[in-house]
Structure 1
Amino acid sequence: MKTILIIEDDISILRGLKDNLEYEEYNVLTELDGNKGLALAQEKQIDLILLDIMLPGMNGYEICRRLKKEKPEIPIIMITARGSEMDKVSGLDIGADDYVTKPFSIPELLARIRAVFRRIDSVNTDNETYSFGNVTIDFKKFLAFKNNKEIKLTSKEFAIMEYFIHHEGEAVHRHDLLHEVWGFDAMPTTRTVDNFILDLRKKLETNPSQPKHIISIRGVGYRFISSE
């Protein structure tokens, strides 16, 4: 049974989400306060987090930012009353996996949760282990190593690399990544893709300023090459 943590300060929304998720046979943990929610996420084994932005104690952006450094494998869906594209991009840029704006329908949210789990399961099963250069990625265990030292990749970064590996040597358009990794409904921009690629290069390339594996194609996107 998968465990979902809800960090939301609106008690009526919190109770409604908890009841519906438990009906779908998820194990549900809840917290009203940002600081306590972060602590709970750090202490427990969590499979997904539903995270409000405007919280007492610590806002959702900061919680997301910290968790993506400490436990990057946990997918996060942001839930907020804010609806502007800039708010959505801000959340996605710091590593959120999806974004839902209040008011939302429960069937829509459940569909997004299932979609996130499907993407993760796809990463886990399609390519269990893959090596290139001095990097090894274990998709089944959500582990990555560079020069035999563990490096932290977010769930989204694992998904990007899985897509690159499936399309090794091909020109991958930014919009292909938006569609396959984020999904159209997530509404990130191509800038979001570029920011993720910059972070991946810093983690995986020997010289990020002169990448040998994740190559830019001007006006198009990127090409992944396993051999230097």
Structure 2
Amino acid sequence: MREKILVVDDDEKITSMLRRGLAFEGYRVLSARNGQEGLALAGQEHPDLIILDIMMPVLDGWEVCRRLREADLRMPVLMLTAKDEVSDRVRGLDTGADDYLVKPFALEELLARVRALLRRHKDAGTDSAEPSKHRLHYEDLTLDLDSREAFRGERAMELTAKEFDLLHLFMSNPRRVLSRDVLMDKIWGIDYSGESNVLEVYVAMLRQKLEEGGEPRIIQTVRGAGYVLKGERA
């Protein structure tokens, strides 16, 4: 079955270009002209991926993404926007977006990111279906792969889809140093061509959530090598 992609953008020229380009690649394409319409279509059609503009009437892309995640709709979201400030990119990622592409963009780059997001989402779904790995534990961390919930001790943490996938990878490889290349390949895919510091941004956001209750750092930086999940008792 062909993957179904929902384009939510009030710019008719961009929407038309995306519809043609995605359809040519074999995807089924739905479109919405504003955030409210896009949110409704996402709930009705359950697309495999959403391309979401930020600056839209009725509901902006940040609010749409936040509501999608609140409704436990976990399809990948690629944010498409003219905003290029780091704070805007972080805000988009923190609301649950999986990737971020700044206008103007090349269609080839967008298609590469779409392929990477769809592949990662499919792989994550396959991994979480393993019956012997419903929950992962490391020290005071618990990751529930069925409900996609994360806990540090008794404290629940609200993680974005990518933060969850990143923590899942760390918890599947405790005390093992994971290089930047391995982390980028496993979480964003080998053909990712977006922001060069996306991994550092996500590690910083994940650490903030892991440590916001005053807990000690558990994701350590290994200078020149990568990152490792290693607590004080390791």
TM exceeds 0.5?
Answer: yes
TM-score, with length taken from structure 2: 0.74
- State the alpha-carbon separation in 1 of the partners of residues 66 and 221 from structure 2: 30
Opposite residue 95 of structure 1, the aligned amino acid is: G
Opposite residue 137 of structure 2, the aligned amino acid is: F
Residue 195 of structure 2 corresponds to 186
- Partner SS state of residue 100, structure 2: strand
Residues 1:215 and 2:225 aligned together: no
Give deviations 1:90-116, integer Å, cap 9, x for gaps: 212322111111221211111100011
Residue 137 of structure 1 corresponds to 144
Retained in 1: the 8 A contact 2:9–2:53?
Answer: yes
- State the alpha-carbon separation in 1 of the partners of residues 29 and 54 from structure 2: 19
Deviates more, 1:9-18 or 1:59-68: 59-68
Residues 1:82 and 2:89 aligned together: no
Runs (4+) of structure 1 moved beyond 6 Å?
173-176
- Partner SS state of residue 194, structure 2: helix
Retained in 2: the 8 A contact 1:2–1:27?
Answer: yes
- Partner SS state of residue 5, structure 2: strand
Residue 103 of structure 1 corresponds to 104
Structure 2's unaligned 5+ residue stretches are: none
Which runs of structure 2 are paired with 1:138-157 in the superposition (5 Å)? Answer: 138=145, 143-144=148-149, 154-157=160-163
Retained in 2: the 8 A contact 1:171–1:217?
Answer: no
145, 167, 175: which is aligned to 2:173? Answer: 167
- State the alpha-carbon separation in 1 of the partners of residues 163 and 202 from structure 2: 12
Retained in 1: the 8 A contact 2:97–2:160?
Answer: no
TM-score, with length taken from structure 1: 0.75
Retained in 1: the 8 A contact 2:177–2:222?
Answer: no
Deviation at 1:144, TM superposition (A): 4.7
Deviation at 1:80, TM superposition (A): 1.2
- Partner SS state of residue 215, structure 2: coil
Q: 1:84 to 1:178 in 2, by over 3 A?
A: farther
- State the alpha-carbon separation in 1 of the partners of residues 93 and 184 from structure 2: 12
CA RMSD of aligned residues (A): 3.4
Deviation at 1:180, TM superposition (A): 4.6
Retained in 1: the 8 A contact 2:10–2:32?
Answer: yes
Residue 38 of structure 1 corresponds to 39
Q: How many residues align?
A: 216
Q: 1:44 to 1:209 in 2, by over 3 A?
A: farther
